[in-house]
Amino acid sequence: MPETPASQASKVHEFQTDDARLRPIYDKVVATERLSADDALALYQSKDILAMGWMANHVRERMHGDKTYFNVNRHINPTNVCVAYCRLCAFGRKKDAPGAYTMALEEAFQTAASGYSEAVTEFHIVGGLHPDLPFEYFLDLTKGLKERFPQVHLKAFTMVEVAFLAKRAKLSIRDTLIAMKNAGVDSLPGGGAEIFAERVRHIICDHKIDGSQWLETAKIAHELGLKSNATMLYGHLENDEDRVDHLMKLRDLQDQTGGFQTFIPLAFHPDNTPLSHIPWTTGFTDIKQIAVSRLVLDNFAHIKAYWQMLTPKIAQISLRFGSDDLDGTVIEEKIYHDAGAETPQGMRRQELMRLITQAGREPIERDTLYRPVTRTETTFTVAV
Ligand code: V47
């Protein structure tokens, strides 16, 4: 029998479920109707991962066909010194604690230039909330990177860092973001959202801005023309209602601004954190989280399966359960590895493409704004 093309899979495999609550959701999905909060809860409560996968894959193929995105990026974490002391985190250190570091600017520029020889198109820059580093350090960092690497997109500073630096510089959030933009910041990563539900947020990251401040900061960034991503940390103390609440709040803001590019569900890594008694998430939970995100966040273009966090194997499988993006080469990851991740520190472009191709998908190298990147031996160009 001839093989069925991958993109036809959801058309030829009939939808089946023994979970009666998924039937009306299926009807809405094929009619391109928005799912309600109750629908989202029913999905989280269901064990029928194949039915969810069918629906999420259907939506994913309707939006992207087989296209699967990745980029060539490098993470830069200028400091791990942090005053937030989040219980979810194994990365942050007190200023004088063993392992605490802060890069001199020159060191950060050298880090940016080091690693794989493949030219990166994005620097992903996030770090701790340092009690003493002035706002100018961060502006000089991005200005210096732009001068040295003008073709590289700077995806820098989470909403939490923006709010912290605004306070330190005694500026409004808007003026802080304007200063960052003028210093070369092109967009913002999605970290720090954790889980918006206050009951849980108080326990896992009580000194961070609250959920409404995170959303307000994202809103202002979007109004200024800065795109951002959004994340949700799951697999700790949150329940299904908290997850639904988080997704709904992001969907509402996206309706207003359209400024989010991609949603990244992040699985909690407990090792070396004060919450190390919490077990690791399972593959079932991870895959289900990808599928529910794709189905509920109908106004987000992309669902990212961050391979560093999910493992390359689960991230690859998720390409048939709703995700359309694997993130990138990363080169040097610290936040997850401090918390016990056993994934490699980075991945070659060729290997990312192999994962995608073997899942029957079409690899598309993108820049941070999802424009296709074409490479020759030594250079790249972005189609605008
Ligand atoms: O903000 C911290 C989370 C985030 C742990 O925007 C932890 O493209 C699990 O946001 N276990 C940083 N998670 C990573 C992040 C990210 C990653 C990849 C791409 C993008 C993007 C954003 O990691 C933090 C926090 O939410 N985190 N500690 C932990 N122990």
Say yes or no to pLDDT of 12 above 70.
Answer: no
Say yes or no to pLDDT of 262 above 80.
Answer: yes
Q: Which of 228, 233, 237 to mutate to test the pocket of ligand 1 (most atoms within 8 A of CB)?
A: 233
Give the per-residue pLDDT at 13: 75
How far is the C-alpha of 328 from the C-alpha of 331, rounded, in Å? 9
Residue pair 196/208 in contact (Cβ under 8 Å)? The answer is no
Mean pLDDT of 340-356: 93
Q: How far is CA 376 from the centre of its chain?
A: 28
Q: Which stretches within the chain are classed as H helix?
A: 9-12, 23-30, 37-45, 49-64, 105-113, 135-148, 159-169, 173-182, 198-204, 211-223, 240-257, 283-296, 307-310, 312-318, 335-338, 349-358
Which residue's alpha carbon is at the smallest distance from atom 2 of ligand 1? 89
CA 132 to ligand 1 center in whole angstroms:
23
How far is the C-alpha of 297 from the C-alpha of 305, rounded, in Å? 15
Which residue's alpha carbon is at the smallest distance from atom 27 of ligand 1? 89
CA 278 to ligand 1 center in whole angstroms:
17
List ligand 1's pocket residues with C-beta within 6 A. Answer: 88-90, 158, 189-192, 194, 229, 231, 233, 264, 266, 268-269, 273, 306, 327, 335, 339
Say yes or no to pLDDT of 8 above 60.
Answer: no
pLDDT digits (tens, 9 = 90+) for 273-286: 999 999 999 999 99
Residue 192 zone, left/alpha/beta (φ > 0; ψ -120 to 50; rest): left
In single-letter form, the type of residue at position 255 comes to: D
Residue pair 105/152 in contact (Cβ under 8 Å)? The answer is no
CA 267 to ligand 1 center in whole angstroms:
9
What is the percent of the chain where pLDDT is above 70?
94
CA 301 to ligand 1 center in whole angstroms:
20
How far is the C-alpha of 68 from the C-alpha of 282, rounded, in Å? 24
Q: What is the pTM of this model?
A: 0.95
Dihedral (CA of 229, 298, 249, 255) sign = positive
Q: Supply angle C-alpha 147, 153, 158, rounded to 5.
A: 110
How far is the C-alpha of 337 from the C-alpha of 148, rounded, in Å? 28
pLDDT digits (tens, 9 = 90+) for 127-179: 999 999 999 999 999 999 999 999 999 999 999 999 999 999 999 999 999 99
Say yes or no to pLDDT of 4 above 60.
Answer: no
Reduced to 3 states (helix: H, G, I; strand: E, B; else coil), residue 166 is helix
Give the per-residue pLDDT at 3: 46
CA 256 to ligand 1 center in whole angstroms:
25
Mean pLDDT of 234-240: 98
Give the relative orientation of helices 240-257 and 37-45 as an angle to the nearest 10 degrees. Answer: 140
